A = this chain, B = another copy of it.
Amino acid sequence: MSFEQERVLVLNGQHLTIEDVHAIAHGGVKVKIAGEAKELLAASRKFVLSLADSDTPVYGFNRGVGLNKDRVVESARYETYNRNLLYSHAAGVQPYASEAQVRAVLAARLNTLLVGRTGLDPAIAERYAEFLNLGIHPLVPLRGSVGVGDITLLSHVGLAFIGEGEVMFGGKRVPAAEALAQTGLEPLCLGPKDGLAIVSSNAVSAGTGALALYDCERLLELADLVYALSLEALQGRVAPLDASLHRYRPYAGQGASAARIRRFLHDSSLWDKESAALQDPLSFRSASHIHGAALDVLAFAKDALHTHLNASDDNPCVIFEEARIVPSANFEPLTWVLGFESLAIALSHLSKSASFRTIRLASPAFTGLSRFLAPDEATIAFGTIQKTFSALDAEIRHLINPSSSDYYALAGDIEDHGSNAPLVVSKVEQITDRLLYILAIEAIHAAQAIDLREAVQLGQGTRTLYKAIREVVPFLDKDRCLTDDIEASYTLLRSHSSRLVGGI
């Protein structure tokens, strides 16, 4: 990844990361197609056009798609055919992607185009960049794809390219034609293979998936941080974080988590004396191992998605260097989808551990503090709130059930595989959101316990968290509506994760 200027990312089909996708989606970063990629696009297109007069049957080019692969598409009908292809494929249902998600989708598709295996009109590739740089964001429904090509969804992007359908532009929902007119863009005119090039990609899944992973990675940092504060709240043992221990069980994730937690606890009084408890509950003791397992799975998913973001998912695949256009199954995203399925399960362990830790923090038997961390006997405090995170944890338990293999044979039994990638991505998003709520409640408990103790010297990282919590959720000195506190803590964790864990 390289930045020409501060806010322009040069894409070449080889180095797009989830951090880049996040920057484009949320940070307003613009994009530019690298010179070498332009050459690939041109060469690829040139070869495709050279086939136009030949009678080699090519899927989605001079032949139809799906079951209609037996139907000839005559060159005179290219434009009509490709327009009809977009129409008939525009079959997604609500909800619509957010603008940030749409930007991620455009970036994801653009970069894979630059691998140069599509053979589309280079002007279309430029159109992705134009939309990103001008802030034209097509309305893209999120549901309706079975995840071997998000064809029902990406067609909506294609419609906007040719001036049909609607887009978000300048903060408003307007006809695509209007946004084109205002920005001086001409509606694209589609040639051979262009319709297929636009729709035959998993860019919706991959783009939104990149954002989901980005958020999930932040969540895992926050989980370490909130856990660290809870450990101080419990006055638990730091021994299981000992670097030596992790050397004898060298999983990358647990080592990294333990190291991060140690940093968060740098300077904490926890290191001064060992806890009286010989063994803390596993929800505390095993935290770095549990978080670490999630990190290991995240690394798998991230690596697999990175491969996808910089690979061709085109069918057929244009290998102009060998003067071939080859039927391909590179639209199968299964490896990274399985990574997401697994990540969901991993996160459920964080959810349950955080919930159990929070229950322990409200228990005098474990803390030596008051029941439900009440400031006095007249206050009920944190008893009923346990239902709240338990209910959210039950939602997470439900969300981890797999979905990728729940498909059937479509399109005359030709399309008999699926991955349900958009659904699988969406479940990780939903889990992440619920888990943020659970961590938000854990953090409230930890801060309360710390206030009930005397003379706890917090660590360098936990101190930051504690202060931030206390800015939005004061000490509970008497009963008050807890819904507001939960929402405040959640918003803090959601919005300011970088500030909270940054610099540590």
Q: Closest chain B residue to A66 by CB distance?
A: B383
Say yes or no for A240: interface residue by CB 8 A criterion. yes
Residues of B contacting A332 in the complex (Cβ-Cβ under 8 angstroms): 254, 286, 289-290, 293
Q: Which of B391, B395, B408, B422 contacts A355 (CB 8 A)?
A: B408
Say yes or no for A352: interface residue by CB 8 A criterion. yes
Tell whether A420 pairs with B404 under 8 Å between CB atoms, given A84-B378, A334-B293, A383-B411: no
Tell whether A338 pairs with B297 under 8 Å between CB atoms, given A383-B68, A391-B423: yes
| Chain B proximity of A120: nearest CB distance (Å) | 15
| Chain B proximity of A440: nearest CB distance (Å) | 9
Say yes or no for A380: interface residue by CB 8 A criterion. yes
Residues of B contacting A403 in the complex (Cβ-Cβ under 8 angstroms): 394-395, 397-398
Q: How far is the CA of A289 from the CA of B335 in the complex (A)?
A: 8
Q: Closest chain B residue to A384 by CB distance?
A: B89
Interface centre among A115, A398, A408, A483 (most CB of B within 10 A): A483
| Chain B proximity of A50: nearest CB distance (Å) | 19
Is the beta-carbon distance between A408 and B379 smaller than 8 angstroms?
no
Q: Closest chain B residue to A149 by CB distance?
A: B387
Residues of B contacting A146 in the complex (Cβ-Cβ under 8 angstroms): 387, 390-391, 394
Is the beta-carbon distance between A307 and B69 smaller than 8 angstroms?
no
Within 8 A of B (CB), among A247-279: 248-251, 253-254, 277-279
| Chain B proximity of A4: nearest CB distance (Å) | 26
Residues of B contacting A54 in the complex (Cβ-Cβ under 8 angstroms): none
| Chain B proximity of A196: nearest CB distance (Å) | 12
Q: What 1/0 mask marks residues of chain A from 401 to 427 whose CB sits below 8 Å from any chain B CB?
A: 111111111111111111010110001
Residues of B contacting A366 in the complex (Cβ-Cβ under 8 angstroms): 413
| Chain B proximity of A382: nearest CB distance (Å) | 8
Within 8 A of B (CB), among A421-466: 422-423, 427, 437
Residues of B contacting A392 in the complex (Cβ-Cβ under 8 angstroms): 93, 143-144
Say yes or no for A36: interface residue by CB 8 A criterion. no
Say yes or no for A19: interface residue by CB 8 A criterion. no
Within 8 A of B (CB), among A157-182: 159, 164-165
Is the beta-carbon distance between A356 and B388 smaller than 8 angstroms?
no
Q: Which of B145, B239, B412 contacts A387 (CB 8 A)?
A: B145
Is the beta-carbon distance between A356 and B478 smaller than 8 angstroms?
no
Residues of B contacting A282 in the complex (Cβ-Cβ under 8 angstroms): 148, 329, 414-417
User: Taking the full assembly, how many copies of this chain does it contain?
Assistant: 4
Within 8 A of B (CB), among A366-384: 366, 371-372, 377-384
State how many residues of chain A have any CB contact under 8 Å with chain B.
159
Is the beta-carbon distance between A145 and B70 smaller than 8 angstroms?
no
Is the beta-carbon distance between B329 and A380 smaller than 8 angstroms?
no
Is the beta-carbon distance between A481 and B288 smaller than 8 angstroms?
no
Q: What 1/0 mask marks residues of chain A from 89 to 123 whose CB sits below 8 Å from any chain B CB?
A: 11111100000000000000000000101000000
Residues of B contacting A92 in the complex (Cβ-Cβ under 8 angstroms): 388, 483
Is the beta-carbon distance between B387 and A410 smaller than 8 angstroms?
yes
Say yes or no for A244: interface residue by CB 8 A criterion. yes
Q: Closest chain B residue to A314 by CB distance?
A: B248
Is the beta-carbon distance between A404 and B349 smaller than 8 angstroms?
yes
Say yes or no for A353: interface residue by CB 8 A criterion. yes
Q: What 1/0 mask marks residues of chain A from 339 to 369 whose CB sits below 8 Å from any chain B CB?
A: 1011001101101110110011001011000
Q: Which of B277, B288, B483 contacts A91 (CB 8 A)?
A: B483
* A-B CB contact pairs (8 Å), 24 listed: A68-B383, A84-B478, A87-B380, A87-B480, A87-B482, A88-B382, A91-B483, A152-B391, A156-B483, A164-B481, A244-B319, A249-B330, A251-B307, A286-B417, A290-B334, A296-B304, A334-B346, A353-B416, A356-B417, A384-B411, A386-B415, A393-B408, A395-B403, A398-B403
Given A68-B380, A355-B408, 8 more contacts at CB 8 Å? A90-B481, A91-B388, A245-B328, A293-B335, A349-B405, A352-B407, A363-B412, A393-B408
